[in-house]
Chain A
Amino acid sequence: MDAAIPSGITMGSSTFEQAARAILARQHVRAAGPSDAVAGVQPQLVVEPGSEQELAKVLKLANEAGLAVIPRGGGTKLAWGNPPNRADLIQSTARLNRVLEHPWADMTVTVEAGCTIQTLQETLAQHGQRLALDPLWPSRATVGGVLSTNDSGVLRLRFGALRDLIIGVTLALPDGTLASSGGKVVKNVAGYDLPKLATGAFGTLGMITRAVFRLHPVPRNSRTFTILARDVDETQKLILAIQDSKLAHTAMQARFSADAPPQIDILFEGTKAGLAAQQIQVTMLAAQATLREVAPDVWNARQETCSLSKAHASDGSVVATVIAKLCIMPASMAATLQCVARVANAPRLCWKAVMQATGIGCLRLAGTPEALPTALKSLRDHLEHAGGSLTMLEQVSLPAPFDAWGGIGDALPLMRAVKRQLDPKTTLNPGRFVGGI
């Protein structure tokens, strides 16, 4: 097979299709349809390899043929990042969906990239364990996709991001190399930490075929409280006071919107006695504000804010909606929200935001397609000036793409050098990442 395709010779996608069929069974190579489009770019083919070896072979073949490859898991976050420059082939991990090994007494799991988060969590729960991560759309989002986009939810405050949970990775590189790094043990400093390099790389360096994670126990009990704050300043003060306290909360988020006072949600996990004692402490800390125990549904706020649905203006006309990820210093929350309100006010944009105590949040803005880019630009300038960032998650309804990433700083040439080393022909997700990578 390999010998039949001399490297450096570009072939059309029909020749490629024949070659791919020599690797995969007929039904796993199909023509792409309109629903396979990636941020408006129409690919030609969809392949579904059944093993990481098959995946690596197809990737190598595409690389040699000069085709652009878009890795795809559950497809829930394909709109994130910039639209690709080119998209010829979708390589789906749908068939690489097994939990390979769950040595529960060692509290680790090895899982294939195409396994959904929900399936993974259900498997782990059989032994009272979990991957301590709550990414978006767990029933469809896959391990590979969540890793590539570095999605993290409210549990990040206590358990860290994916970079802190992943302990091993296997990557398929465009030249067909299958490379593993890290391992199956929690503590390991042998060799470079490529699991971290692959996390958040938007599939531009290699395709993740499997990952190994460290696990945590499912909590014995959990309780959620909501504090009603008067305004953003009080919200900021309360969050900093709770962060500076000796409470061992697992998660804390603040929900903001244009037309309602902010609400702070706080999650405790542990023994009944521990939770009862912490309830008393948090009530004292929130003294001047109203605190009540609530159902855990409030933790869906992030997903609700990040889900795209058609918004309607008061006169019934459809308006454009964008979703952005905001990263700020934890103590800059009030200033950030004041800036959001300011940029949204004049052009009468609707907005809501959910900010985590870690300083990571998501913002949903809706209004006329003309007004949105201006507002996003002002907000991004404000955040970048303070060392933060605004990155675009959803922007399909904008007439022209708004750069998803913003300013990158002085490490961009080094990032390009890393890309050149691993994907010199820019086969993987071309143009989707920072600085045109």
Chain B
Amino acid sequence: MGQASLQGKFGSTRSVRERQTVDARIFQELRAIVGERGLITSPEELHTYECDGLTAFRVMPRGVLLPKSTEEVQGIVRVCHRERIPFVARGSGTGLSGGALPVHDGIIISLARMNRVLEVDLPNARVVVEPGVINLDVTGQVMAQEYFYAPDPSSQSVCSIGGNVAENAGGAHCLKYGFTTTHVLGLEVVLPDGTLVHLGGKVLDQPGYDLAGVFVGSEGTLGIATKVILRVVKRPECIHTLLAAFPSTNEAGAAVSDIIAAGMLPAAIEMMDNLAIQAAEAAVHANYPNCGGLLLVELDGPNAEVQALMTQVDEICRNNGAWEIRVAQSDSERALFWKGRKAAFASVGRISPNYIVQDGVIPRTALPQLLGEIERLGKESGLRVANVFHAGDGNLHPLVLYDRKIAGQEQAALALSYHILELCIEAGGSITGEHGVGEEKKMIMSKMFAEPDLETMQRVRCAFDPLQLSNPTKVFPRTRLCGEKPGEYLAHPLETAGIAERF
């Protein structure tokens, strides 16, 4: 892990020079804010917090705080601000890019205990929650009245709304319904100096800059959300899911193009290649046909509308060589269709000892070409790659399979997974569609964005967090001190000293 060790050096060097140690006096003060049970400092317990869903990166935090209220979060952050202690907010820790990875000499602020649903207002289709509320529980609150919370990351039964806000979480259904940012109307935020601000609100178009829009997806670098105003959606009259088996991903991809060209906007279009299908079968027995390319197409809306469009989708799939088509009409059939897809990442563990989950985006039409390239690269490096896509919006999740015990394979797998991201950039796409940049991808941000682009984002960061205390060292390839003259590139002192390098 070349990057991890570089990170370690960078963090500890800063801490010696610029940051005080988190000493007993400070912990005593923090304990007074959160209570005896709200502070974790024992090394055994701290191990739980040394990484998130991206386990390749690990850093031990100095302590973990578990506040129960906005006031407690403010209290903690004020102490951090005064003492220049960096902090990282954490939800359920399911993130896949190291966004909740602790920073050296920093603390973790876990929002897990702030898990109350504060308000359900169905006439206005709003739900107000604390950040520790689990994604699926929002739907649970409004299900009886046939509403649902649309963003559905695969981890939705465990991931928190606060984490979803930080990462701008997506999911299979964002093709039609949009992302977390589409459904977050307002936020209560503790800024990195402890100030409380309200961004957006229950009513649309609050006067002023759309800072809620900037905050969502900022990966914890702009402050800590302590309340979130969500929009919920009425459940459609019917949902039909079609599963189609194609000889290869090429034919499946052509069918997706034809569906889009026919002017349809399905709720979801998901694609899996043969290796991913095999893994899903081995793990959850979803009863998928053993084919080269599998398509799941979900249409929802009024009955008559969905019926009419489903006939067309069926026809398009057949015209593109689908040799088996099934349509789920009941909730249980539909759940089975989705079971294999939602379990895809974990399933790969059944067919490979280790694997890397990658997340890239390309313009949808570049899919066949990119798949060809991935196959070629896989052969060259002797590695298998399973592919799972949100095919409607070009978001692909290549899973690079390897065995850590074989010398050099982990390095080769990492190299291959980064190479795929470079191909995504070349195709005009993005290095992440829903997992975030975090720790994992910050060094390739400068391949996707030019220096002035990153510089401008950093200026926005400086407006929120001039001391760079909130999840510093994430997202951007280098830390920009807010006192630096904007508009010109100045080498970081650590770069000049040869300690850190900019990629």
- Which residues on A are within 8 Å of B, measured CB to CB? 103, 105-108, 128, 150, 160-161, 163-164, 171, 173, 175-181, 183-194, 196-197, 199-201, 205, 216-220, 240, 243-248, 270-271, 273-274, 276-278, 281, 325, 327-331, 358-360, 387-389, 391, 405-406, 408-415, 417-418, 420-422, 424, 433-435
Contact = CB atoms under 8 A, between A and B. Distances in A.
B470 to A, nearest CB: 13
Interface residues of B, number: 92
A191 B205 contact: no
Contacts of B306: 274
Given A164-B182, A177-B456, A387-B201, A106 B394 contact: yes
Contacts of A200: 205, 209-210
Contacts of B204: 161, 327, 358-360
B448 interface: yes
A246 B207 contact: no
Interface string B459-480: 1111110000000000100000
Given A160-B182, A173-B456, A196 B214 contact: yes
Interface in B170-213: 170, 174, 178-179, 181-182, 191, 195-199, 201-211, 213
B8 interface: no
Given A180-B453, A274-B301, A421-B486, 4 more contacts: A183-B429, A189-B167, A359-B124, A417-B463
Contact of B216 (A103, A193, A194): A193
A213 to B, nearest CB: 14
Contacts of A247: 302
Contact of A410 (B197, B214, B363): B197
A163 B204 CA distance: 11
A273 B448 contact: no
B455 to A, nearest CB: 7
Given A185-B394, A194-B460, A421-B486, A150 B198 contact: no
A187 B450 contact: no
Contacts of A413: 195
Given A105-B260, A330-B124, A192 B208 contact: no
A191 B463 contact: no
B199 A411 contact: yes
B309 interface: yes
A217 B182 CA distance: 20
B365 A183 contact: no
Contacts of A433: 208
Contacts of B170: 187, 189
Interface stretch (B13-21, B279-287, B433-441): B433-441
A201 B457 contact: no
B208 A434 contact: yes
Interface stretch (B100-108, B261-269, B338-346, B398-406): B261-269
Given A160-B182, A248-B302, A274 B308 contact: yes
14 contacts: A106-B365, A181-B449, A185-B393, A185-B430, A186-B393, A192-B214, A200-B210, A244-B234, A327-B204, A359-B203, A413-B195, A414-B211, A418-B460, A433-B208
Nearest to B390: A187
B487 A191 contact: no
B236 A178 contact: no
A193 B206 contact: no
Contacts of A243: 125, 234
Contacts of A424: 486
B217 interface: yes
A395 to B, nearest CB: 15
Nearest to A170: B453
Contact of A273 (B234, B308, B365, B449): B308
B124 A192 contact: no
Contact of B453 (A160, A181, A189): A181
Contact of A190 (B395, B431, B462): B431
Contacts of B216: 193
A224 B213 CA distance: 33
B237 interface: yes
B428 interface: yes
Contacts, number: 270
A276 B430 CA distance: 41
A79 B373 CA distance: 53
A78 to B, nearest CB: 18
A163 B464 contact: no
A415 B209 contact: yes
B430 A248 contact: no
Interface of B: 122-125, 167-168, 170, 174, 178-179, 181-182, 191, 195-199, 201-211, 213-214, 216-218, 234-237, 257, 260-261, 263-265, 301-309, 361-365, 390, 393-395, 428-437, 441, 445, 448-450, 452-457, 459-464, 475, 486-487
A190 B448 contact: yes
A239 B289 CA distance: 46
Given A271-B305, A274-B308, A187 B205 contact: no
Contacts of B178: 160, 164
A59 B67 CA distance: 47
Contact of A271 (B124, B174, B235, B309): B309
Contacts of A187: 170, 174, 179, 361, 390, 393-395, 430, 433-434
A189 B436 contact: yes
A193 B475 CA distance: 13
B304 to A, nearest CB: 4
A127 to B, nearest CB: 9
Given A161-B204, A197-B210, A276-B304, A331 B124 contact: yes
B463 to A, nearest CB: 4
A123 B334 CA distance: 39
Contacts of B459: 421-422
A411 B198 contact: yes
Contacts of A408: 207-208
A248 B301 contact: yes
A190 B455 CA distance: 14
Nearest to B238: A246
Given A248-B302, A274-B308, A331-B123, A192 B234 contact: no
B97 to A, nearest CB: 9
A103 B456 contact: no
A171 B452 CA distance: 11
Given A187-B390, A191-B449, A414-B191, A217 B265 contact: yes
Contacts of A217: 263-265
Contact of A192 (B123, B195, B431, B460): B460
B428 A163 contact: no
A160 B441 CA distance: 30
Question: Which of A173, A331, A414, A435 has the most B CB atoms < 10 Å from its CB?
Answer: A414
Contact of B463 (A108, A388, A418): A418
Contacts of A329: 124, 202-203
Contacts of B303: 277
Question: Which of A173, A276, A360, A421 has the most B CB atoms < 10 Å from its CB?
Answer: A421
Given A411-B197, A411-B199, A389 B361 contact: no
B263 A220 contact: yes
Contact of B432 (A173, A175, A177, A188): A188
B475 A412 contact: no
A244 B237 CA distance: 12
Nearest to B485: A175
